[in-house]
Structures are given as C-alpha cells and as structure tokens.
Structure 1
Amino acid sequence: MNLELNDIDRIIEMAWEDRTPFDAITFQFKLKEQEVINLMRKELKPSSFRLWRTRVQGRATKHSKKRTFDEGRFKCSRQRTITNNSISKR
C-alpha cells in the first residue's frame, strides 16, 4: 500500500496514543495491526520501536476486544459538550 508522508506521520501518532485502538487505524487507513507493527518497525529507530512494542503489547486500550470501558470515544467527565460552535454550560 502506498501511503503519503502525512498519512505515515498520522499512523505513527495514532499508534503511540494510548487510547487509540488499532481498530481506529484500520478503519481510517485500512491497515491491520500487523501492518501497523511493520510500518512502525520500518519508520522508527530500533530503540524507539522496542520501546513502543513494550508499551503497546497486551495493552487493553490498544485492542478493542480487551477494553473494559465504554466502546464510545473517551471523554473526560469534566469536559464540556460543544454544540453549534458554542460551549454549553453544565
């Protein structure tokens, strides 16, 4: 698959984020988990890749099926809702 540099940067960013599951990367970029791992191996320095793999391996937040919290998007309880470009009060 041919990816643009911006797409590669975004995939790496999403892969590093704790709360972004691999399913979200698959949905947006059509890359399976193993393809993301291969991309990270190719694009990162070896020490950075090892650090990332250690961090991600078995992490429940990176695998939708292992999540114990709501499947919707994470939202802080103190975060205000935004409607029609204005922030609503609690």
Structure 2
Amino acid sequence: MNFTLEDKDRIIEMAWEDRTPFEAIELQFGLKEKDVIAFMRANSKPSSFRMWRKRMAGRSTKHTALRSGDVNRFKCNRQRTISMNKISKR
C-alpha cells in the first residue's frame, strides 16, 4: 500500500499508543496486526522496532477482545489533543 507521510506518521503513532488497539489501525488503514508489525519493522530503526515489540508483547489493551470492560476509548483522558495546524512555540 502507498501511504502518505502523514498516514505513516499516524500509523506509527497509533502503534505506539497503549490504548489504540490493532483493530482500530486495521479499520482506519487496512493493516492487520501482522501488517502493522511488518510496517513498523520497515519504518523504524532496528533498536526502535525491538523496543516497540518488547513494549507491545502481552499488552492486553492492544487487542479489543482482551481489553477489560473499563477501557472504552482509544486514548487516555489525560492525553493532550494534537492539532496539525498549530506550530509549537518553543
């Protein structure tokens, strides 16, 4: 699949988010879990990929079927909303 740079950035961001299940990535971008793993391997440094795989191993929130009933959203309620139109002033 050909993804735009923005799509690639979003897929990587969603893959790293603890509360975003693989099913949400599949729904939005058509990538199954094995495809996300291949995508992350191809679009990450080897050390970053290993760190991501270690972090995702056994994480029940990455699979909708394994989630507990109290997790009903994709992001933490304390997570700041990111706007693509704003430029950070540092």
1:36 alignment counterpart: 36
Q: Note the residue ranges of structure 1 that are not aligned, 5 or more in a row.
A: 79-90
Relative to structure 1, is the Cα distance of residues 42 and 60 closer, same or farther in structure 2, using a 3 angstrom cutoff? same
CA distance in 1, matches of 2:41, 2:58: 18
Query: How many positions carry a matched residue from both structures?
Result: 77
Contact map agreement 1:22 1:62 (CA 8 A) in 2 = yes
Q: Note the residue ranges of structure 2 that are not aligned, 5 or more in a row.
A: 79-90
Runs of 4+ in 1 over 2 A off after TM superposition: 69-72
CA distance in 2, matches of 1:36, 1:3: 13
Contact map agreement 2:19 2:61 (CA 8 A) in 1 = yes
CA distance in 1, matches of 2:61, 2:15: 11
Identity %: 61
Q: Normalising by structure 2, report the TM-score.
A: 0.77
- Indicate the SS of the match to 1:40: helix
5 Å-filtered alignment, 1:45-84, equals 45-70=45-70, 72-73=72-73, 76=77
Contact map agreement 1:22 1:63 (CA 8 A) in 2 = yes
Give the structure with the larger strand fraction. Answer: 1
Deviation, 1:70, is 3.7
2:9 alignment counterpart: 9
Q: Normalising by structure 1, report the TM-score.
A: 0.77
1:25 equivalent to 2:25? Answer: yes
CA distance in 1, matches of 2:76, 2:60: 17
